[in-house]
Structure 1
Amino acid sequence: MLIILSLGFIMAVLDTTGVVLAVPSIEKALNISFNNSIWILNSYILALSSLLLLSGNLVRKYGATRLFITGMGLFIIASIGSGCSINVWTIVIFRLIQGAGAALFMPSSMTLLFISYPDPTERAKVLGIWTTIISVATGTGSLIGGTLITTFGWRSIFFINVPLGLIAILYIYSQKIEVPYNLNLKISIVDNIVLFFALTSLVIFLVNGKQIGYLSSKNSIFGITFVVTLTTLIFLEKKSTNPIIPFDLLKRKNFLTANLFGLVINISLYGLTLVLGLYFQTQLKYSAMLAGLLILPGMCVLILGNLFYTKMIQKIKTNTLVSLATTITIISSLILLIFATKLNPLPAGVIIIFFATMCFGLGILTPVTTTILMDSAGKKYSSIAGAALNTNKQIGGLFGTTILGIIIATNQSNWQTILILTFSLQVILYGVTVLIDKLSEHSHH
């Protein structure tokens, strides 16, 4: 069960990391410019991040099994479409459908996982293993993707989803899991349309800004649209009898802090891998392959952190684990920051060692906060919690690459300043999150 459910996530991950590597070959094969090819990646993230929360509510209405099968079906059809594409726009359209499919099966797999392991202690352990599987997939995604593309060409990165998806559908269908659903649940269409526009304009604002400048007239329209739609949404949600994220959930401190941690972890990880990858290639003049390999120790240690969590969760309280993990992460960032001020250029060895210790902290933090989140939501809201967490991942990743993209662009080739700013940002991000976490604990007692 666990393997089949993580299979869906692995496919969704491969469709982000693996496709990144396929872009150069697709550009050549279909004769596309970079400005257009970037939408092969972004259309998927766009559909995924803007539909996840809606999907979380659809799971409550129609049941997780139906949505898992529907989503996976859409995903398979779109994968075949993308793989057979002859020009950029057909790929982009199929990638949008693929993202929508992924948005449907991701929250439902969280719910199916929740229902399949009703015992909280066992579930905490299972979430640890689940995080490990996904970390391994993310860490090796580029490797698997690269191998497929080199051996079978770029179309294979899409076609691989077909057999995998069919296995998942047949298995989930044969299990006949009893899932709670409520066909009378009302989903407010207006709120979800406004949310869709808010998230879409945010993603376009972040992505387009990289090319045409964040505050240029063309791009600021999307920024303004985001602010307006977001304000409208908050207003609508306050009045709504059936809000997208139930108020009952928003009152739960753990739900909020776990989401905040999720967002920060992704801003930090995506941003850091971007900066370090570029630093290894431009400043230290390593090849792309070697730069990728140097980030691997960090990813391996991340997995060790996941396993450490799975071992310890029975013995240590979740709050203690959060404190331990954040301490490790903040100290590692501080050490990197001190080294960056003293040594220029910063040796790769130093980065590898302390990026790895930092990843150990993040490896514990990810499953702990996932467990806290799922427990705070309970069975009733498990799909919403899964959706919120994954929306955070997507948006956090975009924010991470955007913020650090701006830092890199403004300091052009002054790598010492870039690294100092990058590591300071890590310290501040985790520091503030811990403070908020601690303060909200006191206010509740």
Structure 2
Amino acid sequence: MSTLAAPTRRSTRRWLALSILALAQFLVVLDASIVNIALPVLGAQLGMDTAALAWVITAYVLAFGGLLLLGGRLADRYGHRRIFLVGTAGFVATSALAGLSFTSEMLLAARALQGASAALLAPAALALLTHLFPDSGDRTKALGVWGGVAGIGSAAGVLLGGVLTATLGWQSVFFVNVPIGAIVLIAIPLLITPDVATERGKLDIPGSATITGALVAAVGALSAIEQVGFIHPLTLGLAAAAIILGAAFVIIERRTAAPLVPLEVFHHRNLTVGNIVMLLIGAAMVALFFALSVYMQAVLGYDALATGLTQLPLAGALVIVAGVVPAVIPRIGARTTLISSLVILAAGLVWLSFAPADAQFLVHILAPSIVIGIGMGGAFVTTTQLSVDGVEGGESGLAGGLVNTSQQIGGALGLAVLGTVAALRTDELLASGAPAPDATTGGFSWLFLGSAVVALVAALATGFARKN
């Protein structure tokens, strides 16, 4: 197995280095949401119908989610800093390519390459963080910054997408990545020393191929549910492929001498619990941001910019809590912090589900949004810490790939299942004669309640899981 010797001092200015790594993570999270607002304008200019526009999102998610584990392992094998820089350079180049696209085919290819680059960047960045902050106390604080940045990126995508599309055109949502990425590429070599490879075994090609295929098929099946339904041959075929390839991957990993994912890594119960919970948090979070954005615009009549502004209180609460949680964890424990955060998150989602079709932001939306931000901030930071605690340096890239994969798969799962639940409830209310705004609101109410159930299931999983 490949291992990397992490120098005792990877950086003399590690907090500055963390801010640059967080900036790169911000780009990855931002890119998952900023494109949504630009889709109608983009589609009109490139001649893409609704089904084709869905692939602008799906192409990115498929490549990102499918290649994350391989990206994490490549970082462990060839150096976390090196793979991080390769991924960032690729992300910058493919963002520029997407902005320059003049055909739908060119744009979709650029989006897939963007996702592949992000799959190299994200796990390597988290691995670098764990090396920069080997002390558990400092690492918890650093993960607080990390969680805050993720929250800002998710909420800021809607706001920035609206502003940039309205003022500079849809191309700007891609071009914005270029100067930020350039700053990262210049700063990181100056702030972080290279990894030193002490051993290199053979790369597990069969394992890489089967797990990548399984993840791509799984994400594809979940995306197909939204577009063609549960029982469509495409959905069923992709689901079957995911199961078969996943089973083949497990068999290969048990037999190979240098596995891509040593199954023993799941003996770390904190890592296992953290990834299960991250999958569930991803499901609740992606479904929430999607539904809240559509609800504010389609039902309440807000424009894209105003919709983004309404999500700032949620993001602000998330950032504040992400900064406070690192001081709370040593006092009451990570699991107690996580369970409390998940219960708070569920309470906020239940509260939001009561918002009517004629809701006023200050009366019906603001308070539950702040509660949701509090719960999400605590849950995200603590879950990320559990997912990387106790993992050896030579597998830190793998741990980063696992937790990012869990979040991406969870997001696709949540959007597919909870989005379908919302659509079915909306159709039911329309059939009963309810006005369209009331029917849509009723569907989103069920989605918010479903997200609350997901958060409570995550809390129960955390409570019942045994500690290391």
* TM-score normalised according to structure 1 size: 0.90
Correspondences of 1:40-439 after superposition (within 5 Å): 40-175=56-191, 177-334=193-350, 339=354, 349-413=363-427, 414=429, 415=439, 418-419=443-444, 421-439=446-464
Deviation at 1:56, TM superposition (A): 0.8
SS of 1:171's equivalent? helix
1:431 counterpart letter in structure 2: L
Any idea what the Cα deviations from partners look like across 1:355-401, whole Å, max 9, x if unmatched? Answer: 42132112111111111222132423221111111112211111111
Distance 1:237 1:347, change over 3 A: farther
Structure 1 residue 293: deviation in Å?
3.7
Residue pair 2:299, 2:357 contacting (<8 A) in 1 also: no
Cα distance in 1 for residues equivalent to 2:340 and 2:307: 30
Q: Does 1:29 align with 2:49?
A: no
Task: Work out the CA distance in 1 between the residues paired with 2:445 and 2:94.
Answer: 43
Aligned partners of 1:153 and 1:286: how far apart in 2? 20
Deviation at 1:127, TM superposition (A): 1.1
Q: What's the Cα RMSD here?
A: 2.5
8 Å CA contact 2:37–2:304 kept in 1: the answer is no
- The amino acid across from 2:84 in the alignment is F
Deviation at 1:55, TM superposition (A): 1.0
Unaligned runs of 5+ in 2: 1-16, 430-438
State the secondary structure of the residue aligned to 2:393: coil
**In the superposition, relative to structure 1, how do residues 298 and 94 fare at CA in structure 2: closer, same or farther (>3 Å)?**
same
Q: Which amino acid aligns with 2:370?
A: A
Q: Distance in 2 between matches of 1:436 and 1:13?
A: 26
Q: Aligned pair in 2 of structure 1 residues 289, 147: CA closer, same or farther (>3 Å)? A: closer
SS in structure 2 of the partner of residue 411 of structure 1: helix
Q: Does 1:4 align with 2:29?
A: no
Equivalents in 2 of 1:47, 1:136: separation in Å? 23
**1:136 to partner: Cα distance:** 1.9
Secondary structure, aligned partner of 2:203: coil
Give secondary structure in 2 for the equivalent of 1:181.
strand
Shift of 1:212: 2.2
Give the drift of 1:166.
2.3
Gaps (5+ residues) in structure 1? Answer: none
1:420 offset after TM fit, Å?
Answer: 5.5
- After superposition, the Cα gap between the structure-2 partners of 1:65 and 1:278, relative to the gap in structure 1 and judged at 3 Å, is closer
Shift in Å, 1:34 = 2.1
Displacement of 1:275 after TM fit? 2.8
Structure-2 change in CA distance of 1:199 and 1:298 (3 Å): same
Q: Distance in 1 between matches of 2:30 and 2:446?
A: 31
How far does the alpha carbon of each residue in 1:152-177 deviate from its partner, in whole angstroms, 9 at most, with x for none?
22222222322222221222223351
Secondary structure at the residue paired with 1:95? helix
Number of equivalenced pairs: 440
Q: Percent same amino acid at aligned positions?
A: 27
- Displacement after TM superposition at 1:256 (Å): 0.7
Given that residues 60 and 180 in structure 1 are in contact (C-alpha distance below 8 angstroms), is that contact kept between their aligned partners in structure 2? no
Letter paired with 1:50: G
Question: What letter corresponds to residue 244 of structure 2 in structure 1?
Answer: V
CA distance in 2 between counterparts of 1:277 and 1:387 reads 28
- My pick for the range that moved more, 321-330 or 276-285, is 276-285
Q: 1:76 to 1:355 in 2, by over 3 A?
A: closer
1:287 Cα deviation from its structure 2 partner: 4.5
Shift of 1:250: 0.6
What is the rounded CA distance, in whole Å, between the counterparts of 1:426 and 1:19 in structure 2? Answer: 23
CA contact (8 A) 2:317 2:374 kept: yes
Instruction: Quickly say closer, same or farther: Cα 1:40–1:171, change in 2 above 3 A.
Output: same
Residue type matched to 1:244 in 2?
L
SS of equivalent residue, structure 1 residue 242:
coil
* 8 Å contact from structure 1 (residues 115, 179) kept in 2: no
Cα distance change of structure 1 residues 417 and 239 upon mapping to structure 2, 3 Å threshold: farther
Q: Kindly state the Cα deviation for residue 52 of structure 1 after the two structures are TM-superposed.
A: 0.7
C-alpha change, 1:167 and 1:347, in structure 2 (3 Å) is closer
Q: Structure 2 counterpart of 1:40, which letter?
A: V
Deviation at 1:87, TM superposition (A): 0.3
For structure 1, which segment, 150-159 or 37-46, has the greater mean C-alpha deviation from structure 2 after superposition?
150-159
Deviations 1:15-41 (A, max 9, x none): 222222222222122222222122122
Amino acid at match of 2:117: G
The Cα shift of 1:146 comes to 2.6
Tell me the CA shift for residue 204 of structure 1: 1.8
Give the letter for the 1:395 counterpart.
I
Q: Is the CA contact (8 Å cut-off) linking 2:71 and 2:123 kept in structure 1?
A: yes
**Per the alignment, do residues 155 and 70 of structure 1 end up closer, same or farther by CA in structure 2, a change over 3 Å counting?**
same
The answer to whether the Cα contact below 8 Å between 1:18 and 1:142 also exists between their aligned partners in 2 is yes
The answer as to whether partners of 1:43 and 1:95 remain within 8 angstroms in 2 is yes
The 8 Å contact of residues 264 and 396 in structure 1, kept in 2 or not, is answered as yes
